[in-house]
Structure 1
């Protein structure tokens, strides 16, 4: 995984420590293990962030921060990935989770109304909630584990590609140096 790319977009811990509104978290922000960019730390951060993003609960970022602290993985990535579910994607993702849950429970999914309102949601919440909760939990676990495995594989591929490139460059330099010593220049 391109570590420099990730470091370019991550905030520096010292900047966050100086923020007045985050003083109560100073001891967490100062923990170096929550800022590391290793294969394990980034893969687990993706797992935590994607898992929390797919749950239809308030305060997903707080849950992601707690998960990052518990698993000692990258805190900013865990929190940032929660924004997979944003106001534009949330209806689509949660409707897909609901359909998955309805399929798993073998119940027919409710048809969406022409105009969605909070009254309609409140009236149907008892019917919708079991399927939404089960579908969201299954989707979160599967997507979180898939994200973890995918990041580990991408990271390994990137490192092995880098090693091959460096090995090729060393052989080329050695060949050029040998050529120069033999006077074949």
Structure 2
């Protein structure tokens, strides 16, 4: 199963060559295309996992998540493909759960009584900027934003340490296999 996932990721992950030909990235291509941002190293992979989870869960806007994760990967020297891939944790199947949990956490910690139904109504009705601004100053916005912050930071921390642990486990297995060959 994991080899299938790795194979799928290798086939579908953005390649460095894809970005070399982009006119949009031409002004910052020297920074975005730095080789250390595309290598899978012991330090860059956990950073990419953490940044992808942080941005992917907090933003919840498809497309902007990937670009945001890639931009945040630059100053932190994180792996760009991993950061972009980790944003897919928040998808149409998981977004309602993330939103519900963030409002629950926000209500619980801030002592509010916000309801997520108004947010969902605005999304489904394709509300205008005025309606969104009205919601932003309502009871629900602070609870949702605080909850999203807590969940995204917690996911980033857990993701960082899980990726670091898995990387060390992988290296340990390779080292043991090499020792058996000698």
Q: In structure 1, which of residues 151, 163, 166 is the aligned counterpart of residue 178 of structure 2?
A: 166
Question: What number of residue pairs does the alignment pair up?
Answer: 168
CA distance in 1, matches of 2:13, 2:59: 26
1:95 is the counterpart of 2:100: yes
Superposed, 1:1-185 pairs within 5 Å as 7=10, 9-56=12-59, 58=61, 59-110=64-115, 112=117, 116-118=120-122, 122=132, 124-125=135-136, 126-170=138-182
CA distance in 2, matches of 1:129, 1:56: 14
Deviation at 1:93, TM superposition (A): 1.2
CA distance in 1, matches of 2:31, 2:177: 38
Report the RMSD for the aligned CA atoms in angstroms: 2.9
What does the per-residue CA deviation read over 1:135-173, in whole Å, with 9 as the maximum and x for residues that have no partner?
A: 111111111011000000011011111211222232xxx
- Partner secondary structure for residue 104 of structure 1: helix
Runs of 4+ in 1 over 4 A off after TM superposition: 4-9, 119-125
CA contact (8 A) 1:53 1:85 kept: yes
CA contact (8 A) 1:94 1:132 kept: yes
CA distance in 2, matches of 1:111, 1:23: 41
Q: Give the TM-score normalised by structure 2.
A: 0.77
Deviation at 1:22, TM superposition (A): 4.0
- The 1:63/1:16 distance shift into structure 2, 3 A limit, reads closer
Q: Give the TM-score normalised by structure 1.
A: 0.76
CA distance in 2, matches of 1:111, 1:117: 9
What does the per-residue CA deviation read over 1:55-95, in whole Å, with 9 as the maximum and x for residues that have no partner?
A: 14653333212210010111122122222222332222122
CA distance in 1, matches of 2:69, 2:116: 32
